[in-house]
Amino acid sequence: MRYKKLFLILTVLVFSPICFTSSANASETNTSTSLSLEPKVIEAPYLGLDNVSALVVVKLKIHNVHELKEFSFKFTYNTSILEPCPPHDSFGMIDPSFYLTAGGWTGSSLMGQLGETFSGSGTMFTYGFRVLNPGSTPLNLTDSKLTNSSGFTIPHTVSGCTVEVLSFEDCVDGEYVELMEQYDSLNSSYSLLQTDYHSLNSTYYNLLLNYTRLQEDYDSLNASYSFLQTDYASLTSTYTELEQEHQSIISELNTIRTLMYILTATTILFIATTVYYRRKRSPLVWR
């Protein structure tokens, strides 16, 4: 009976690390890095008006990333249905929370480098696409690359979304008004966010400029401090030499004063002795 208990204890001790290792590997697998475009299905109306078109807003989200430093990717979609808004390479707007956490970034919304490494999950950018024609198109990410602070590529998965542009006839059943209200709300929010982004970007560059000026002032003050410290050391050495010369002069003056006292006393004694002997030798003269 005792040996059976011992055997059970040994069995538990041997297989427990294996179970923990399997659980750890499963946890790592479940927390893999991914990029996704959300929402997954977007419906937008085709207005069919000159100079007026609906705007499709999509968010790029990142999940479970560790020490992200650089990123790059491209969009693929049906160019006869959608076009970037505004139509150039950097048409996205960075999420304010991601901007603050990552310490800003340099480059564009399709390829850039973060000011600080980012770990965790969140919304990176918001992109706008203008509707050109009715139809359905997948909106996917291609050539995506994530790099950590050490320059290594971060393995990740990507998932896109689907944009369905409805014709006017499809929206007449009452959803058109709701979609227009949502569009106006999103367009207003997008404009506000874009204004906030420009304000934050301007503030960031002003702070960077002030930091550069303060660094230059600090370097200048540090150089002045070094020069003053050298001058102080030189003055201290000169003062020490003058102090030594002063003490030497005072010592010499004391010696001279002592010798003068001795000479004066000797002279007086000599005169007194001379007068005494002269009076003693010829007392009549003195009388």
Could you tell me if 35 and 64 are in contact, meaning their C-beta atoms sit under 8 angstroms apart? Answer: no
Q: What is the pLDDT of residues 151-188, one digit of tens each?
A: 999 999 999 999 999 876 666 655 666 777 788 888 88
Residue 28 in this model has a pLDDT that exceeds 50: no
**pTM to 2 decimal places:** 0.49
Could you tell me if 67 and 119 are in contact, meaning their C-beta atoms sit under 8 angstroms apart? Answer: yes
Where are the chain's structural domains? Answer: 29-173
CATH 3.40.50.720 assigned to domain 29-173? The reply is no
Who contacts 85 (Cβ-Cβ below 8 Å, separation ≥6)? 55, 91, 128, 129, 130
Q: What is the pLDDT of residue 1?
A: 44
In eight-state DSSP terms, residue 1 is -
Q: With bands split at pLDDT 50, 70 and 90, how would you rate the model's confidence at 284?
A: low
Q: CA-based Rg of the chain, rounded to a whole angstrom?
A: 46
Residue 286 in this model has a pLDDT that exceeds 80: no
**Alpha-carbon distance 129 to 113, whole Å?**
24
